[in-house]
Each structure stands twice: as C-alpha cells, then as structure tokens.
Structure 1
Amino acid sequence: MDLIITTERLILRQLLPSDAEAMFEMDRNPNVHKYLWNKPVETIEEITEIIENIRKQYLDNGIGRFAIVVKDTNEFVGWAGIKFITEPENGHVNFYDFGYRLNEKHWGKGYASEASYAWLAYGFNQMNIKIMYAAAHSDNGASNRILQKIGMTLKEHYLSDEIQWNWYEMFAPTTN
C-alpha cells in the first residue's frame, strides 16, 4: 500500500515503526485519553503492538489509520483515517469508521479538521464508500464539534462499557 494523501499543511501516510516514540508521547498523556476510557499507554511496547496491528489492517482491509505529519517540519502530530470495523459496535458490523487522535500540543490548530476533510474525500471518491460512521464520547466537546463541522450527522447516543457515546454518520455525496 503506497497511499499518501497531502493537504495544504499535512502529509497523511502509513504509520511506521519509526513513529513509535512520537505516538508513545501522545498516547501516554492522560489528557489525550480523558475521553478514551482514561487508559493511557504505559510502555513503548504497547505502541509497537498498536502500530503492528494497524499495519496488519492495511494488508487485511486495504485501509487503516495513518500518521498525520506537518509538511513544513516533518513532525508527527497524531493519526487519522478510515478503519474497517468487523466487530459489532452500536449494532453495526462490517462498516467504515472515521477517526483521529492528536498529540495535545497540536490541539486547536485545525489539523484534525484538515485531515478529516481529506480522508472523507478519499473514502467517498476513491474507495466508493457509501456511508461513513464515527463515534465520540458524549462529553468530548472538541471532537463532537469537529465531527459536526466536517458534515457528519449525530444520529443517536449509545452506551459502551458504561460510557455514553455519540454515533455519527455521513452519506457519500450524490451527483446529479
């Protein structure tokens, strides 16, 4: 898989083993995991395993979460992308989920929105996905605002592990 997506400020590319240190810095931060079950990673080995699993998704599903890198600095700021979900979630199975996660020091710079628009365009236009889903913790105001800003529609609330989540969907644009 040689996919690279570029935007005005970002490069979206496969996650690599060499991203482990930067990803560990992001995922060990309790603030990053506040709305992700409050379980930050504790070891670099956990990140190495996560990256291996994501790279396996590239092979198995032809898509997965990608690194977000700033063009001007080559700095890893987080990840975003489309994931094919094969386990049941909110009554759905075998669906495309859109998601992102950024290092706290890069919050509020518009990177999540910029990467999101690029991924949605790719998913709908190149992959011919008909409907994309996303979920955000109901109390995560920033992520909920981003999902709404990029055009996703809040469809319902659901409980998972005693946490209330917001369930979003977006249909592929139609041309007349």
Structure 2
Amino acid sequence: MKIFIETERFFLREILPTDVDGLFELDSDADVHRYLGNKPVENKNQIIDVISFIRQQYIDNGIGRWAIIDKETNGFIGWAGLKLITEETNNHIDFYDLGYRLIKKYWNKGIGTEVALATLKYAFNKLNLTELYAMADCDNVGSNKILKKIGFDFIETFNLDGTPHNWYKIERENKYVQKMMI
C-alpha cells in the first residue's frame, strides 16, 4: 500500500481492492451522485470494475484518485486526487484534473477543502505540474466553493453531457500557489 499524502486528519493512499465496501457506500448514494449525472452504482461488481479502472490509471499514467482514510478510525471517507484526462473535455485533452468525492455523512466538515488543498500541493511540489484544471456542476455549491477557496480561477461555464459545469484552472505561477510552496 502506498500513501501519497498525509494531512492533519487523513492519509491519501492508493485505492485497493479491499475498498469495495467504502466505494459502494459512496457511489450507491443518490445524493452523492446528484451532480454527477444521477447514475449511482447498483451493485458491488460495478465497484470492482471502478477499482480496476483506477488501479490501471496508476500503471498507465502514474497517477489516479486516492482513498481518503481517517487517521483515527482507519475508515474510508471517500476519494481525492488527480486524474490525467485523455479524452476531450471542454476543448482540452491530456490535462490533469483535481477531484474529490466524499461519503455523505462526511460532508460539511472541511474534509473536501483539506484533501483538495493537499492534492494541489502534491501536484505542484511533487509532480512539478505547471497547471491543473477542475470542473463542477454549476449547481454544486459545495464543490464550487472548495475550488475557489483553494485558489482555482473560474474560467467559463461549459456543457458536460447536457449539464452546465464551471471550468476552473490554477497555474503554478498563481500567487496563492507560490505562497503554499514556501
């Protein structure tokens, strides 16, 4: 098991086959999927496929989403991390996307901000990336708030699968990024 990031409260580690139950709790919840196309998973076999897909990204791209693990309880909270997007999205291709998803009982506890900020630091300090992108459904107030709070700049609104999304970008030269790299 590889731990990529440690924050005050969490470890961000590779997603493992043993994360089936936690990922099922996350992705079978209709509220979690409200801004993700309203397509919650229906069975654990779908989660097994998701885990295989993510683990293949580690091999193919050297990066992928990571499990968020509570340091005190060792419990699965959700996932966060980077993903290399290789299909065209909003006229962009081969870009790094910052994302996060939490089990509903962990919403509104500052976890999304904590892990997203840690992921941002990892991207610029460890991977030496020059820019990151992120997107959020326009109606997803919480996710949009997190992206702005950690320094992403709103670029535009675009249509993703028939739903308006906000498109964000942050560059290494951003003053906020420069302060956190010190």
The answer, yes or no, to whether TM exceeds 0.5 is: yes
Query: For 2:105, what is the secondary structure of its paired residue?
Result: helix
- Separation in 1, partners of 2:168, 2:37: 19
- Separation in 2, partners of 1:50, 1:138: 25
Alignment of 1:45 with 2:45, yes or no, is: yes
- Which residue does 2:155 correspond to in 1? 155
- Which residue does 1:92 correspond to in 2? 92
Query: For 1:145, what is the secondary structure of its paired residue?
Result: helix
**Is contact 1:80–1:115 with CA below 8 Å preserved after alignment?**
yes
Matched letter for residue 55 of structure 1: R
- Which residue does 2:164 correspond to in 1? 164
- Which residue does 2:82 correspond to in 1? 82
**Is contact 1:124–1:173 with CA below 8 Å preserved after alignment?**
no
- Which residue does 1:14 correspond to in 2? 14
Deviations 1:41-98 (A, max 9, x none): 0010111100100000001111100000110110100000000111000000000000
Matched letter for residue 119 of structure 1: T
- Which residue does 2:23 correspond to in 1? 23
Unaligned runs of 5+ in 2: none
Q: CA deviation at 1:161?
A: 1.5
The alignment's TM-score, normalised by the length of structure 1, stands at: 0.97
Unaligned runs of 5+ in 1: none
Matched letter for residue 50 of structure 1: V
In the comparison of the two structures, how many residue pairs are matched?
176
- Which residue does 1:121 correspond to in 2? 121
Alignment of 1:110 with 2:110, yes or no, is: yes
Deviation above 4 Å: which 4+ runs of structure 1? none
